[in-house]
């Protein structure tokens, strides 16, 4: 999406607020017009020496009025500016989040903090460009107005002043590309330098035992030195351009004087005219600065927009910036109650390496507990994610009562609930983490889920019970508690299909036994559970043994005990030694 | 505050002393630039009084002069800005180098507590803002003050009434500028809290995307964020609006200055006491009066920030480096036998002893193999020998001299130590192996490759020794990475060799190749081989088994394998059966 189209769409959503904001700032940016005219009046009256000509207090009142007017428009403009910009960017942020949640997990390939960067740096860049755009519009209008007035006062001198102004503008435009590349050089060099420092700090021991301190320090010095050259180059260039535009006032004034001297009759001007010209010139100089900034900003914004597009995909980008509000997505229609889930020929290969799952097939009926077993790295979690549509199915299908499920839409609550291998516990209260958005469910049902997940002894020990805070990332609760909170969360959803990744890690035998009994007694759900837990392996309705991403055997535990070697070793290993690995 | 100022002066003295010539040049540039900048409007006055009043404006001399001086101002300020950054960067770079040197001289135990990320922050992050401190703050405060004083003087010259008015005006203005600054701070810190909250929330949710999706919490998540945005919007508007106050003040003061100039000039002109040119200049100067005052205020803020950074820098400097009471030269040692006498050690000050009364003797030219489970304290023994850590009690003697008394860098130069941790960095193969020691020649590296069976691997590199590698480089298997760290030892001529699990990542055939190389390396040198694999024991003259910080067995290979119930025999039996310990 081009930046222009992007900004057009974004602004279209907040058009009334945007228009108001433009109007307020236009008042601010065009007020120097009056300032110039007033000053001109003052000087012309003083120089005429006519006593009656000068209405001093009129001028002073005029001045104060302009000051008040300018101040008021700054305050008002700050408010309207913050308002519309925040509305635009916050909607962008919300819509991005909405898209991330609804697209398969593969979309977010980087670390969470990398993904946060999109929300921070890229959205902020777009925010900056929005302001820059507005300033540019306003200053352009001021420029036109002042040009018109100056032309009326003295066209000859006006055209003369335009010469240096246009030259600098041209210069800024021509060199902005070079400036950009110098800036990125300077940034790259600086970040490479701190990368080197970080590397040094990683290998301190190696440095010490090789007694290489001296050489390392002098190498660091050398690199600092060459970084200095790059930074200075960028600085000089940048400053030259900035000074050129701020100095345009002085040089322009010089040109006015020059034009007045050589223009003869054409160059005739009063001191008042001079003062007006100089005032307009000083505000026009801002234009050059903004002009340089907005070209740079636009280039940066393009990069950011492209990045966002890469994150969520081109088709969704239109949804994100389009008119439609994504605040509430349509509630999914609950599929008919599950009788039989069929997994057929499911295949997913990771883009890098040779890991994945190939041609997996099995069924889960209502009330059945199917256990996925296999050594570490055999593809258990991948299989679960693929069934849930968290990673795309490359081949094969998942059928719900013989209806083919459309991947990214169907496998969500209320039909399905999921307990991840290391469940996410979010800062907030325990209850918030269990409800996870289900606000209309009764307290009694929450208690029931807590009971189911064998969390009640833990809850009763807490000072605030279910209202206790779990801390950022669930830092206040143990690994086993996290697991059980997530189980309670899943149970509360009254689902047809429960998917549990890694059932028993962090659970002691008694609690694990308790939950297991609840699962057996349930009978209303189909369960798919990946686990090493020997009790569960022995007592499942069916076990799917995976090995290197392929089905090695499927059958009842008794059956597999007889004919499958992998299953036997999995069942015979002591529980603790394996679960520690997860 | 007085302490802070002394801190500044000290840093200034140390890091700017070398640049005093440039500092003087900078001052001259700034002073001249300021003078020109202030003098230039005088030309306007001349022009108005002489040219504009007469019928024709023939003189193009004044306009040309004016343009010339404007360009000169431009060049002077550009030069000053360049020179300022030059000095600033030189000073901060020198400071960074000193900080790194100091950091590397700190004890290893310091690095147990301080992660690389925080060290980058302390050397790089804390110093970067000081560029401005060294190059700008003082200079900027001085120039701005000069500009302001200059303007006031020039205004006095136009008329004492004007001077007095503007002097009083700027006093009031400065007071207002300082006061309004304090008004807006609370909003900004609240805003920062909210921003932090949002990004925390966001990061949490992004790491939980899968569960949010499947468990149907999408709307809930969006609702939660939307609620936060509602709060944020209100605060953002408030903060931005209050934040505009300094700007409003600046606009108001500017206009007031002009209005005052008008009033006073009007009265003076009615008495015929002032020329039109002078009025114009007064008006011109009055417009310039506020900015230097605002700039001074900004620099005062910057100074406060710099103060915090300087404090952190000084904190790092004040941490005690490794003791350097050593004076005995490594070369003066008569032989390189190793003796641990009743050595005890613990990493924490109060914790259990990791090593308890260890006694070891390795004769010159012999090799000891230390076996033991992970966590038995094997690696610590090696670290103590190289002086990375000091024993709690007991002493370690090389030749007849205690380790602490040997010059540290000579000691470490004289010991070839392959650590268990494979420590490589992003850089060329050469730099990774030599650690920037310029005296190591390329042929030596290639020779070492040859000896370690790395030649084939080396031939596959596209840029030879200039090929880039890194700590987490997929081109480099963990075994290759480990072999590279072994190369480092082959590049020096140590008297003592320590190999700490140097073959843990290698497959059997590579290990065998390496074993031969090591055997050659150990000839005529004293060696310690630390391993949990039995395969390397036949390189050793004697064997020691370490168990929970105690020597549980020691003796020659012969002795131990003859003892029927020795642990060594058990290990040997298991090793031969092919199992890993």
Reduced to 3 states (helix: H, G, I; strand: E, B; else coil), residue A377 is coil
Q: Considering the domain boundaries, does residue B233 fall inside one?
A: yes
Of these ranges, A145-159, A508-522, B335-349, B456-470, the one predicted with the greatest mean pLDDT is A145-159
Nearest CA-CA partner of B544 in B571, B506, B504, B580 = B571
Tokens 């700590």 sit at which residue?
B471
The answer to whether residue B125 scores a pLDDT higher than 60 is: yes
Task: Kindly state whether A232 is in contact with chain B, defined as any CB-CB distance less than 8 angstroms.
Answer: yes
Based on the fold, state whether residues B433 and B566 are members of the same structural domain. Answer: yes
**Average pLDDT of the residues of chain B:** 84
Does some domain include residue B348? no
Task: Provide the 10 A C-beta neighbour count for residue B128.
Answer: 14
* Statement to judge: residues B4 and B144 lie in one domain: yes
In a shared domain, residues B106 and B52:
yes
Contact yes or no for B378/B545 (Cβ under 8 A): no
Residue with token string 């094969």: A396
Do A216 and B119 count as a contact with CB atoms less than 8 A apart? Answer: no
Residue B175 and residue B228 in one domain:
yes
What φ, ψ does residue A552 adopt, rounded to 5°? -95, -40
Query: Among A108, A110, A27, which Cα is nearest to A71's?
Result: A27
What's the pLDDT band for B69 if we cut at 50, 70, 90? very high
Query: Do the beta carbons of residue A82 and residue B229 sit within 8 Å?
Result: no
A81-90, A522-531, B293-302, B468-477: least confidently modelled range: B468-477
User: What is the rounded CA–CA span in Å between residue A79 and residue B237?
Assistant: 5
* Confidence label for A329 from pLDDT (cuts 50, 70 and 90): low
For residues A367 and A384, what is the distance between their CA atoms, to the nearest angstrom? 18
pLDDT over threshold 50, residue B213: yes
**Is residue A49 very low, low, confident or very high in pLDDT (cuts 50, 70, 90)?**
low
Tokens of B457: 């691997």
Q: Which of A268-282, A563-577, B88-102, B414-428 has the lowest mean pLDDT?
A: A563-577
Is B219 in the same domain as B261? yes
Lowest mean pLDDT among A115-129, A441-455, B567-581: B567-581
Instruction: Tell whether B147 and B169 lie within a shared domain.
Output: no
Give the integer Cα–Cα distance in Å for B40 and B66. Answer: 6
The residue-averaged pLDDT of A74-88 equals 93
Render pLDDT for B262-277 as a digit per residue (tens, 0 to 9). Answer: 888 888 888 877 888 8
Rounded CA-CA distance B485/A308 in Å is: 42
Give the pLDDT score at B156: 94
Are residues B134 and B52 part of one domain? Answer: yes
Are both B569 and B512 inside the same structural domain?
yes
A203·B205 Cβ contact <8 A = no
pLDDT surpassing 70 at residue B55 = no
| Minimum mean pLDDT range among A303-317, A326-340, B502-516, B518-532 | A326-340
Does the pLDDT of residue A33 top 50, yes or no? yes
Of A51, A78, A94, the CB nearest to B225: A94
Contact flag B64-A81 (C-beta cutoff 8 Å) = no
Examine residue B354 and state whether it is found in any structural domain, yes or no. Answer: no
As given in the structure block, the two tokens for residue A479 are: 């690994």
In whole angstroms, what is the distance from residue B206 CA to residue A418 CA? Answer: 17
Is the pLDDT assigned to residue B576 strictly greater than 50?
Answer: no
B398 found inside a domain: no
A580 pLDDT more than 50 = no
Q: Is residue B228 part of a domain?
A: yes
Q: Rounded CA gap, B379 and B420, in Å? A: 8
Nearest by CB to residue A47, choosing from B123, B276, B412, is B276
Q: Is the pLDDT of residue A532 over 70?
A: yes
CA–CA distance, B29 with B146 (Å, rounded to integer): 13
In this prediction, residue B229 carries a pLDDT of 93
Q: What is the mean pLDDT of residues A106-130?
A: 76
Which of B253, B273, B293 terminates a domain? The answer is: B273
**Which of A156, A43, A263 shows the shortest CA–CA distance to B57?**
A263
| C-alpha to C-alpha distance for B369 and B532, rounded to whole angstroms | 10
Q: What is the mean pLDDT of residues B355-366?
A: 88
Residue closest to A30 by CA, chosen among A137, A132, A129, A159: A137
Cβ pair A63:B259 closer than 8 A = yes
The pLDDT of residue B552: 81
Q: Kindly determine whether residue A197 and residue B104, on different chains, have CB atoms separated by under 8 Å.
A: no
Helix (H) or strand (E) holding A540: none
Round to whole Å and give the CA distance between A489 and A436. 7
Do A499 and B214 count as a contact with CB atoms less than 8 A apart? yes
Evaluate whether B439 touches A211 at the Cβ level (below 8 Å).
no
Chain B interface test: which of A156, A195, A254 (most B C-beta within 10 Å): A254
Calculate mean pLDDT across residues B304-329: 82
Residue B63 has pLDDT above 70, yes or no: yes
Instruction: Give how far the C-alpha of residue A67 lies from the chain's centroid of Cα atoms, to the nearest Å.
Output: 40
Rounded CA-CA distance A503/A496 in Å is 18
Number of domains forming the structure of chain B: 3
Q: Residue A119 and residue B120: Cβ atoms within 8 Å? A: no
Torsion, CA A267, CA A269, CA A271, CA A276, rounded to 10: -90
Q: Which residue of A has its CA nearest to B412?
A: A209
Q: Kindly state the tokens that stand for A35.
A: 């300032």
Q: What pLDDT score does B577 carry?
A: 36
Residue B309 has pLDDT above 50, yes or no: yes
Strands (E), A420-519: 497-501
CATH code of the domain containing B379 = 3.40.50.300
**Residue B443 domain-assigned (yes or no):** yes
Residue A577 pLDDT level (bands cut at 50, 70, 90): very low
Q: Are residues B466 and B546 in the same domain?
A: yes
Residue B542 CB-density burial (10 A; 0-12 exposed, 13-18 middle, 19+ buried): buried
pLDDT digits (tens, 9 = 90+) for B89-115: 999 999 999 999 999 999 888 887 777
Average pLDDT, chain A: 84
Averaged pLDDT, B321-326? 73
Please say if the pLDDT value at position A325 is more than 60.
no
Are residues B90 and B145 located together in one domain of the fold? yes
Q: Is residue B395 part of a domain?
A: no
Q: Are B210 and A216 a contacting pair at CB < 8 A?
A: no
DSSP 3-state of A13: helix
* pLDDT, position A456: 87
Q: Rounded CA gap, B383 and A208, in Å?
A: 11
Q: What is the pLDDT of residues B231-273, one digit of tens each?
A: 999 999 998 898 888 889 988 998 889 888 888 888 888 887 7
B97 with A221: Cβ contact below 8 A: yes
Which of B46, B87, B212 best tests the A interface by mutation, with the highest count of A CBs <10 A?
B212
Residues from chain B that touch A108, judged by Cβ atoms under 8 A, are 206, 209
Measured in degrees and rounded to the nearest 5, phi and psi for residue A503 equal: -65, -50
Q: Please give the pLDDT value at position B234.
A: 93
Q: What is the DSSP letter of B541?
A: S
Determine the pLDDT at residue A103.
73
Phi, psi of B361 (to 5 degrees): -135, 120
- Say how far apart CA B17 and CA B81 lie, in whole Å: 19
Domain of residue B138 covers: 1-157+301-322
Q: What distance in Å separates residue A256's CA from the closest CA in chain B?
A: 8
Cβ neighbours of B210 in A, within 8 Å: 105, 385, 388, 390, 418, 420
Tell me the CATH number at B145.
Answer: 1.20.1560.10
Q: Tell me if B307 is assigned to some domain.
A: yes
Percent of chain A with pLDDT over 90: 25
Q: Which residues of B touch A74 (CB under 8 A)?
A: 244, 247-248, 251
**Cis peptide before A414, with omega less than 30 degrees from 0?**
yes
Q: Pick from B74, B103, B240: which is nearest to A78 by CB?
A: B240
Chain B residue numbers touching A216 (CB-CB < 8 A): 100, 104, 435-436
* A95 has pLDDT over 60: yes
Triad B232, B233, B238: Cα angle to 5°: 95
Exposure pattern of B498-537 as b/e (b: 16+ CB <10 Å)? bbbbbbebbeeebbebbeebbeebbeebbbbbbbbbbebb
Please tell me whether residues B182 and B261 are part of one structural domain: yes
Residue in chain A closest to B104 (alpha carbons) equals A213
A49, A112, A135, A210, best to mutate vs chain B, most B CBs in 10 Å = A210
Give per-residue pLDDT as tens, B162-176: 999 999 999 999 999
Write the residue in A42, A82, A328 that is nearest to B240 by C-beta: A82
Query: What is the rounded average pLDDT of the residues A383-407?
Result: 82
Please give the structure tokens belonging to residue A473: 């990332």
Say how many C-beta atoms besides its own lie within 10 A of residue B334's C-beta: 9
More confident residue, A379 or A54: A379
The reported pLDDT for the residue numbered A485 is 92
Q: Residues of chain B with pLDDT > 90: what percent?
A: 20
Task: Determine the pLDDT at residue A473.
Answer: 67
pLDDT confidence tier of residue A324, bands split at 50, 70 and 90: low
What is the pLDDT at residue A579?
37
Q: What is the pLDDT of residue A74?
A: 94
| C-alpha count within 13 angstroms, C-beta hemisphere, residue A207 | 25
Number of H helices, E strands in chain A: 22, 10
**How many CB pairs (< 8 A) connect A and B?**
366
State the virtual CA torsion across A123, A128, A131, A135 in degrees, nearest 10: -150
Q: Which of B47, B93, B203 is nearest residue A112 as measured by Cβ atoms?
A: B203
For residue B2, give how far its alpha carbon lies from the nearest alpha carbon of chain A (Å).
Answer: 32
Average pLDDT over residues B204-225: 87
Same-domain status, B377 and B498: yes
Share of chain A above pLDDT 70, in %: 90
Report helix, strand or coil for B322: coil
């Amino acid at each position: 999406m081009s930046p222009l189209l992007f900004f057009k769409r974004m602004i279209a959503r907040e058009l009334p607020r945007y228009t108001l904001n433009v109007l307020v700032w236009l008042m601010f940016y065009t007020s120097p017009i009056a300032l110039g005219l007033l000053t001109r009046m003052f000087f012309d009256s003083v120089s005429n020496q006519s006593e009656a000509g000068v209405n001093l207090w009129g001028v002073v009142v005029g001045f104060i009025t302009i000051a008040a007017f300018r101040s008021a428009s700054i305050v008002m403009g700050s408010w309207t500016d913050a308002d519309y910009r925040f509305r635009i960017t916050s909607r962008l942020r919300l819509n991005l989040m909405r898209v991330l949640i609804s697209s398969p997990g593969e979309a977010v390939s980087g670390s969470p903090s990398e993904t946060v960067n999109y929300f921070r740096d890229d959205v902020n860049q777009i925010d900056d460009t929005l302001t820059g755009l507005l300033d540019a519009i306003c200053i352009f209008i001021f420029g036109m107005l002042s040009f018109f007035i100056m032309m009326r006062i003295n066209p000859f001198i006006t055209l003369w002043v335009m010469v240096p102004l246009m030259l600098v503008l041209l210069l800024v435009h021509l060199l902005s590309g070079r400036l950009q590349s110098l800036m990125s050089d300077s940034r790259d060099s600086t970040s490479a330098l701190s990368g080197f420092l970080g590397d040094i700090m990683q290998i301190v021991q190696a440095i010490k035992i090789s007694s290489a301190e001296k050489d390392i320090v002098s190498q660091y010095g050398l690199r600092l030195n060459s970084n200095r050259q790059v930074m200075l180059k960028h600085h000089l260039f940048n400053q030259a351009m900035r000074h050129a535009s701020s100095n345009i006032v002085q040089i322009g004034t010089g040109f006015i004087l020059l034009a007045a001297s050589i223009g003869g009759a054409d160059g005739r001007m009063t001191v008042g005219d001079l003062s007006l010209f100089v005032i307009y010139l000083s505000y026009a100089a801002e234009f050059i600065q903004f002009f340089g900034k907005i070209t740079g900003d636009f280039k940066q914004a393009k990069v950011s927009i492209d990045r966002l597009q890469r994150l969520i995909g081109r088709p969704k980008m239109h949804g994100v910036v389009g008119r439609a509000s994504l605040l509430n997505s349509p509630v999914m229609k609950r599929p008919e109650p599950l009788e039989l889930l069929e997994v057929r020929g499911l295949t997913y290969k990771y883009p890098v390496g040779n890991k994945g799952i190939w041609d997996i097939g099995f069924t889960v009926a209502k009330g059945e507990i199917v256990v996925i077993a296999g050594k570490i790295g055999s593809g258990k979690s991948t299989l679960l994610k693929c069934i849930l549509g968290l990673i795309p199915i490359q081949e094969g299908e998942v059928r719900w009562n013989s209806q083919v499920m459309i991947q990214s839409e169907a496998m969500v609550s209320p039909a399905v609930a999921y307990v991840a291998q290391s469940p996410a516990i979010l800062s907030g209260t325990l209850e918030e983490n269990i409800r996870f958005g289900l606000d209309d469910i009764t307290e009694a049902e929450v208690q029931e889920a807590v009971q189911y997940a064998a969390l009640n002894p833990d809850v009763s020990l807490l000072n605030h019970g279910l209202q206790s805070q779990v801390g950022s990332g669930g830092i206040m609760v143990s690994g086993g508690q996290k697991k059980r909170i997530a189980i309670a969360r899943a149970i509360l959803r009254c689902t047809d299909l429960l998917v549990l990744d890694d059932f028993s890690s962090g659970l002691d035998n008694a609690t694990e036994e308790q939950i297991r009994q609840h699962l057996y007694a349930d009978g209303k759900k189909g369960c798919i559970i990946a686990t090493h837990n020997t009790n569960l392996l022995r007592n499942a309705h069916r076990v799917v043994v995976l090995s290197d991403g392929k089905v090695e055997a499927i059958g009842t535990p008794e059956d597999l005990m007889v004919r499958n070697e992998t299953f036997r070793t999995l069942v015979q290993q002591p529980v603790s030694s394996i679960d520690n690995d997860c | 505050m007085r302490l802070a100022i002394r801190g500044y002066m000290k840093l200034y003295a140390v890091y700017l002393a070398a640049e005093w010539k440039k500092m003087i040049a900078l001052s001259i540039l700034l002073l001249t630039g300021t003078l020109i900048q202030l003098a230039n409007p005088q030309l306007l006055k001349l022009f108005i009084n002489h040219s504009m009043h007469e019928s024709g404006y023939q003189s193009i001399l004044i306009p040309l002069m004016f343009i010339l001086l404007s360009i000169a101002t431009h060049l002077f300020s550009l030069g000053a800005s360049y020179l300022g950054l030059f000095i600033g960067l030189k000073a901060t770079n020198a400071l960074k180098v000193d900080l790194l040197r100091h950091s590397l001289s700190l004890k290893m135990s310091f690095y147990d507590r301080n992660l690389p990320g925080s060290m980058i922050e302390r050397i790089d992050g804390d110093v970067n803002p000081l560029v401005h401190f060294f190059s700008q703050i003082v200079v900027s405060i001085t120039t701005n003050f000069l500009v302001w004083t200059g303007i006031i003087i020039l205004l006095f010259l136009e008329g004492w009434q004007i001077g007095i008015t503007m002097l009083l005006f700027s006093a009031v203005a400065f007071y207002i500028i300082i006061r309004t600054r304090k008004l807006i701070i609370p909003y900004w810190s609240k805003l920062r809290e909210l921003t932090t909250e949002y990004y925390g929330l966001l990061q949490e949710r992004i790491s939980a995307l899968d569960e949010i999706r499947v468990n149907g919490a999408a709307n809930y998540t969006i609702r939660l964020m939307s609620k936060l945005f509602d709060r944020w919007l209100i605060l953002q508007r408030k903060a931005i609006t209050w934040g505009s106050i300094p700007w409003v003040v600046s606009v108001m003061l500017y206009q007031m200055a002009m209005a005052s100039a008008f009033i006073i000039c009007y009265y003076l002109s009615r008495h015929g006491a002032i020329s039109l040119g002078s009025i114009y200049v007064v008006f011109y100067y009055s417009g310039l009066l506020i900015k230097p005052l605002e700039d001074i205020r900004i620099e005062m803020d910057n100074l406060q920030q710099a103060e915090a950074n300087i404090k952190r820098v000084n904190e790092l400097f004040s941490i005690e480096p490794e003791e350097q009471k050593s004076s005995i030269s490594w070369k003066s040692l008569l032989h390189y036998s190793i003796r641990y006498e009743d050595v005890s050690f613990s990493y924490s000050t109060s914790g259990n002893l990791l090593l308890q009364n260890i006694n070891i003797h390795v004769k010159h030219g012999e090799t000891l193999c230390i076996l033991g489970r992970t966590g038995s304290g094997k690696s610590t023994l090696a670290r103590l020998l190289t002086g990375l850590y000091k024993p709690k009690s007991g002493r370690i003697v090389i030749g007849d001299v205690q380790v602490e008394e040997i010059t540290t860098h000579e000691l470490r130069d004289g010991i070839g130590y392959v650590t268990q941790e494979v420590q490589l960095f992003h850089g060329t193969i050469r730099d990774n192996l030599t650690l920037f020691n310029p005296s190591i020649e390329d042929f030596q590296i290639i020779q070492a490759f040859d000896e370690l069976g790395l030649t084939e691997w080396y031939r596959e590199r596209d840029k030879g020794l200039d090929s880039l590698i890194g700590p987490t480089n997929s081109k480099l298997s963990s075994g290759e990475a480990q072999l590279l760290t072994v190369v480092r030892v082959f590049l020096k001529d140590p008297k003592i060799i320590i190999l700490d699990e140097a073959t843990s990542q290698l497959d059997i055939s590579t290990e065998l190749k390496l074993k031969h190389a090591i055997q050659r390396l150990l000839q005529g040198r004293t060696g310690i081989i630390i391993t949990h694999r039995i395969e390397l024991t036949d390189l050793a003259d004697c064997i020691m088994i370490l168990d929970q910080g105690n020597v549980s067995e020691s003796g020659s290979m012969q002795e131990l394998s003859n003892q029927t119930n020795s642990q060594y025999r058990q290990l040997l039996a298991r090793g031969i059966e092919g199992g890993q310990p």
